[in-house]
């Protein structure tokens, strides 16, 4: 495999640093670069597909309709992983255009393979930090929806600061949504679900699609009582397919929480 397709662990000191943003949206990296090897098929599809369907990072705003060659709703997904859900959603919704972001190179290779196999024309990939892509490339009020499915939970307290769903990034995401557009997060970590509920609920330009509980304690009590809607969590919408991992978790009695907020 050629060396440029292998991401090496970042140089010491590169992780966890505050990155000053162009418009004041600084952030701590929500991921750690892992050395990742692609299978031969992933590598071949990466090399063939990325020049065609990749959207390279640039530090200036892009015209999304021009990129996709049509005027259709644009939906961003942050952290596609291996891309199964991303490809399924794009395949089932040809009326929308999807932009998947993923930093882990085998995931990008796997999604390239799915795009080639399913011959999807409405799904493009960005192989770059989502915070920088949203901050620098996406115009205000340009998106019909944003998906953040099972973001890294960073469950140790000292790592919580790396979680993607934090107030400054949520404010930035909200600014990229059109009025009435949605932000959909899902997680299987109760503690992160409650953080999401708290952070999304505090963003003034967003409104919960289901009734908001008055306190996080009430949300927790209601969620434990499986009154998910009352607790501020949404039922899983049909467009989000159940993953194998999630299915197994649900069978073992683990919870999954969906949060769907609308831009005012």
Ligand X SMILES: C[S@@+](CC[C@H](N)C(=O)[O-])C[C@H]1O[C@@H](n2cnc3c(N)ncnc32)[C@H](O)[C@@H]1O
Residue 81 or 213 with smaller CB distance to ligand X: 81
Catalytic (active site) residue 225: no
Which range of residues in 52-60, 75-83, 135-143, 169-177 is near ligand X by CB under 6 A? Answer: 75-83
* Residues in region 84-103 near ligand X by CB under 6 A: 85, 101-103
Task: Calculate the dihedral angle through the C-alpha atoms of 174, 159, 105, 258, rounding to the nearest 10 degrees.
Answer: -50
Residue 127 or 213 with smaller CB distance to ligand X: 127
Q: How far apart are CA 164 and CA 187, in angstroms?
A: 12
| Residue reference for tokens 């505050």 | 18
Residue 97 or 102 with smaller CB distance to ligand X: 102
Task: Check residue 194 and give left, alpha or beta (phi > 0: left; psi -120 to 50: alpha).
Answer: alpha
Q: Rule CB under 6 A: is residue 131 a binding residue for ligand X?
A: yes
Catalytic residue among 152, 198, 238, 258: 152
Instruction: Please say whether the beta carbons of 251 and 225 come within 8 A.
Output: no
Task: Check residue 14 and give left, alpha or beta (phi > 0: left; psi -120 to 50: alpha).
Answer: alpha
Q: Rule CB under 6 A: is residue 258 a binding residue for ligand X?
A: no
For ligand X, how many residues bind (rule: CB under 6 A)? 21
CB of 149 to ligand X, least distance (A): 4
**β-bridge mates for residue 97, sequence order:** 74
Active site (catalytic) residues: 152
- Which residues contact ligand X by CB under 6 A? 30-31, 78-81, 85, 101-104, 107, 129-131, 149-152, 164, 243
């Amino acid at each position: 495999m050629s060396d440029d397709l292998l991401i090496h662990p970042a140089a010491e000191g590169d992780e966890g640093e505050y990155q000053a943003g162009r418009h004041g949206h600084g952030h701590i990296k929500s991921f750690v670069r892992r050395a990742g090897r692609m299978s031969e098929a992933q590598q071949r599809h990466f090399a063939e597909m990325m020049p065609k369907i990749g959207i390279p990072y640039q530090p200036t705003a892009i015209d999304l309709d021009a990129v996709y060659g049509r005027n259709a709703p644009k939906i961003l997904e942050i952290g596609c992983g291996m891309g199964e859900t991303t490809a399924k959603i794009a395949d089932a919704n040809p009326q929308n255009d999807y932009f998947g972001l993923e930093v882990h190179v085998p995931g990008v290779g796997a999604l390239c393979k799915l795009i080639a196999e399913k011959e999807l024309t409405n799904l493009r990939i960005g192989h770059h930090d989502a915070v920088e892509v949203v901050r620098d490339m996406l115009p205000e009020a340009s998106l019909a929806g944003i998906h953040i499915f099972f973001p890294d939970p960073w469950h140790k307290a000292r790592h919580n600061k790396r979680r993607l769903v934090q107030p400054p990034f949520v404010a930035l995401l909200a600014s990229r949504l059109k009025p009435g557009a949605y932000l959909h997060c899902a997680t299987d970590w109760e503690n992160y679900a409650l953080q999401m509920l708290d952070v999304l609920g505090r963003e003034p330009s967003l409104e919960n699609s289901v009734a908001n509980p008055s306190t996080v304690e009430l949300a927790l009590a209601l969620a434990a009582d499986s009154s998910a809607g009352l607790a501020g969590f949404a039922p899983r919408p049909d467009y989000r397919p159940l993953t194998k991992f999630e299915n197994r978790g649900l069978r073992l009695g683990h919870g999954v929480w969906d949060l769907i907020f609308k831009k005012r």
